[in-house]
């Protein structure tokens, strides 16, 4: 079974600084998807960024970017120019590839990010 | 589109009572997932459906839990009888077929069993 590990239960960052959240995963598959979700106090799950395993180029969404190391099974999230609104729980998630359908997400335990003004 | 709708948003009940959580997926989505979030276990899959048919219910903790999807626009997750350890946030998510389609989450139901 696939597993996702987030080794940092809590992180903090100064406003306007950069922070990197770590994630490793375990799978025997070659095709899959990886995601970072944000969960603010409202508890709504918000997709931040996603990466297809077959793509070598790291995904970027505005201030959010990933460092995807397929061989190392590592998928870290970098948040640049941190803002107060970035404070939340961040979950790394894995999803198996299924061309004609869809599959469940497997989540890490999360990293709570605090942003200090 | 209204997004995934869950009801109730909060539920407080006493041990032994029956609890029913409801989910309305986004129109046109043919996959529906139920996830549970607890402090101890994090976010975990309970069950998911494709075209109203349960595909994998291996995450359902025990026989006290049951889920149904009678049609494409409605699903229920029932706990009978409820126990304090069932206290959690229950999320419903939906998506379309196709490997790269995003799962859209509902707001969740916070269940407290006293």
* CA-based nearest distance B81→chain A, Å: 26
Give which of A15, A37, A49, A54 is closest to A89, Cα–Cα.
A37
Which segments of chain B have a pLDDT < 70? 1, 99
- What is the token pair recorded at A77? 């999230």
Q: Please judge whether A100 and B102 are an interchain contact, meaning their C-beta atoms are less than 8 angstroms apart.
A: no
DSSP B26: P
Taking residues A10-24, report their average pLDDT.
97
From chain B, the residues in CB contact with A107 under 8 A are: 42-44
Percentage, residues of chain B above pLDDT 90: 89
User: Taking CB atoms and an 8 Å limit, are B101 and A105 in contact across chains?
Assistant: no
Whole-number pLDDT of residue A100: 73
Cross-chain Cβ contact A44/B108 below 8 Å: yes
pLDDT in tens, B13-34: 999 999 999 999 999 999 999 9
pLDDT at A71: 94
- B104: tokens are 């859209």
- Residue B50 and residue A105: Cβ atoms within 8 Å? no
d(CA A103, CA A90): 21
Best of A104, A110, A111, A112 to mutate (most B CBs within 10 Å, chain B): A104
Chain segment B103-114, per-residue pLDDT in tens: 999 999 999 999
Contact B45 A101 (CB under 8 A): no
Instruction: Locate A28 and state its tokens.
Output: 């025997």
Interchain CB distance below 8 Å, A102 and B101: yes
Cβ <8 Å between A44 and B105: yes
Q: What are the pLDDT digits (tens) for A22-77? A: 999 999 998 999 999 999 999 999 999 999 998 889 999 999 999 999 999 999 99
Tally of CB atoms within 10 A around B71: 8
Output the pLDDT for position B99.
64
Query: Given phi > 0 = left and psi -120 to 50 = alpha, else beta, which region is B89?
Result: beta
How close is the nearest chain B Cα to the Cα of A8, in Å? Answer: 14
- Would the pLDDT of A98 be above 90? no
For residue A91, what pLDDT is reported?
Answer: 98
Q: pLDDT averaged over chain B?
A: 94
| Average pLDDT rounded to a whole number, residues A98-102 | 78
- The chain B residue lying nearest A100, using CA atoms, is B98
Phi–psi pair at A84, nearest 5 degrees:
-55, -35
Name B6's bridge partners.
B23
Interface test with B, best of A40, A99, A102, A108 (most B CBs within 10 A): A102
Output the pLDDT for position B1: 64
Per DSSP, the three-state class of B85 is helix
Contact B72, B53 (CB under 8 A): no
Q: What is the pLDDT of residues A41-52, one digit of tens each?
A: 999 999 999 999
């Amino acid at each position: 079974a696939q597993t996702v590990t987030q080794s940092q239960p809590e992180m903090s960052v100064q406003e306007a600084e950069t922070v990197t959240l770590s994630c490793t995963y375990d799978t025997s598959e070659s095709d899959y998807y990886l995601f970072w979700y944000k969960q603010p106090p409202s508890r709504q799950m918000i997709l931040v960024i996603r990466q297809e395993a077959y793509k070598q180029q790291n995904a970027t969404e505005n201030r959010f970017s990933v460092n995807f190391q397929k061989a190392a099974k590592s998928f870290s999230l970098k948040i640049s120019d941190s803002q107060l609104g970035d404070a939340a729980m961040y979950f790394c998630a894995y999803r198996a590839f299924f061309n004609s359908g869809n599959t469940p997400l497997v989540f890490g335990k999360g990293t709570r990010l605090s942003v200090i003004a | 589109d209204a997004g995934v709708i869950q009801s109730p948003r909060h539920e407080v009940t006493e041990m032994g009572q029956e609890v029913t959580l409801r989910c309305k997926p986004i129109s046109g989505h043919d996959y529906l997932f139920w996830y549970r979030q607890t402090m101890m276990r994090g976010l975990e899959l309970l069950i998911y459906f494709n075209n109203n048919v349960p595909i994998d219910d291996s995450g359902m903790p025990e026989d006290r839990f049951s889920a149904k999807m009678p049609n494409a626009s409605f699903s229920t997750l029932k706990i009978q009888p409820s126990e304090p350890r069932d206290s959690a946030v229950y999320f419903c998510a939906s998506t379309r077929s196709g490997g790269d389609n995003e799962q859209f989450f509902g707001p969740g139901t916070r269940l407290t069993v006293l």
